[in-house]
A and B are shown apart, each in its own frame.
Chain A
Amino acid sequence: GEDVEQSLFLSVREGDSSVINCTYTDSSSTYLYWYKQEPGAGLQLLTYIFSNMDMKQDQRLTVLLNKKDKHLSLRIADTQTGDSAIYFCAEKPGGYNKLIFGAGTRLAVHP
C-alpha cells in the first residue's frame, strides 16, 4: 500500500545542519517532494526530486534519495530560526496525479 513515514520532531541549534528523514513504500513513485508549512499557513514547495536521481542541491537544501531503501532525506545547511516549520515529505505514485503525504516533521531551531 501507499504510506509515507517521518519522525515527528527535530530540534537543532541555529547554524547547525538539519537532516529530516522520510521513508515511503510505493516503488513506482516517480517524484518525491519536500513541502514547508509555517504556522497557520498553506504548504510551500521547497524542492522535489525525480526518482532516477540520487541527489539534488538547491542553495542550502540538499535532497538525497536512496531508491533501493525507499529513503528520502532533506538536509538544510546553516539552519536559521526562519527555518522553524513543519516539513512534509510526499510521494507521487506512478500513474496517478495525487500526492501521498507524511505526517510532517516539526523542526525547532534554538539559539
Chain B
Amino acid sequence: DGGITQSPKYLFRKEGQNVTLSCEQNLNHDAMYWYRQDPGQGLRLIYYSQIVNDFQKGDIAEGYSVSREKKESFPLTVTSAQKNPTAFYLCASSIWVSGEGNEQFFGPGTRLTVL
C-alpha cells in the first residue's frame, strides 16, 4: 500500500533533549512537509523540501532542523532550543508541479510531549 508513515505515534522527551521524528513515504513524491498543530490553531509549516538535498524554512522553523538525504525520508529533529515543543506533528508529501493543485497527503502524526 502506498502512503506516508510517521513514527513513533507518541513520544515523550525530557527538557533539554533533542528528539527526531521519522517520516517516510512510498508515493514517489518530490515534495515533503512538516507541520505543527496546536489545540485551536491551524497547521503551521515548519520546514518543507522540494527535492532531495534541498529544504526551506517555513513559518516557525526556529528550534527545528531537517534533512532530506533520500526522496522517501524527511526526518524532523526537535532541538532543545525549541521553547514549547509539546504539540502534534504532521508530515505530508506531494508532487511538485508549479501552478497545479499538488494535493498534500498526510501521515497519521506524532504527538510529542515534553516532561
CB B109 to nearest CB in A, in angstroms, measures: 5
- Any chain B CB within 8 A of the CB of A59? no
The verdict on A98 contacting B42 (CB below 8 Å), with A40-B109, A42-B108, A43-B90 known, is no
B102 close to chain A: CB less than 8 A: yes
Closest-CB distance, B52 to chain A (whole angstroms)? 16
Number of interface residues of A (CB under 8 A): 24
Asked whether B74 is an interface residue with its Cβ less than 8 Å from the other chain, the reply is: no
Known contacts being A30-B99, A98-B48, is A42 close to B94, with CB within 8 Å? no
Total number of B residues with any Cβ neighbor in A under 8 Å: 30
A71 to B41, CA, bound (A): 19
Q: Which residues of A contact B50 (CB under 8 A)?
A: 97
- Rounded to whole Å, the gap between the CB of A101 and the closest CB of chain B is 4
Contacts of A30 in B (CB 8 A): 99
Q: Name the one of B41, B44, B99, B109 contacting A42, with C-beta atoms under 8 angstroms.
A: B109
Contacts of B41 in A (CB 8 A): 103
Contact between chains at B42 and A102 (CB < 8 Å): yes
Given A8-B40, A42-B90, A97 contacting B106 (CB threshold 8 A): no
A4 and B40 alpha carbons, distance in the complex (Å):
13
Shortest CB distance A29–B (Å): 12
Interface string of B7-50 (1 = CB under 8 A from A): 00000000000000000000000010101000011111100101
**B45 contacts A98, CB within 8 Å?**
yes
Q: Does A45 belong to the interface (CB within 8 Å)?
A: yes
Query: Would B94 and A45 count as touching, CB distance under 8 A?
Result: no
> Which of A40, A44, A98 counts the most B-chain CB atoms under 10 A from its CB?
A98
- Binary flags per residue of B90-115, CB closer than 8 Å to A gives 1, else 0: 10101010110111111111010000
Q: Which 9 A-B pairs have the closest CB atoms?
A: A101-B42, A42-B106, A43-B106, A101-B43, A103-B42, A42-B108, A31-B101, A102-B42, A42-B109
Which residues does B use to contact A, with CB under 8 Å?
A: 4, 6, 31, 33, 35, 40-45, 48, 50, 58, 90, 92, 94, 96, 98-99, 101-109, 111
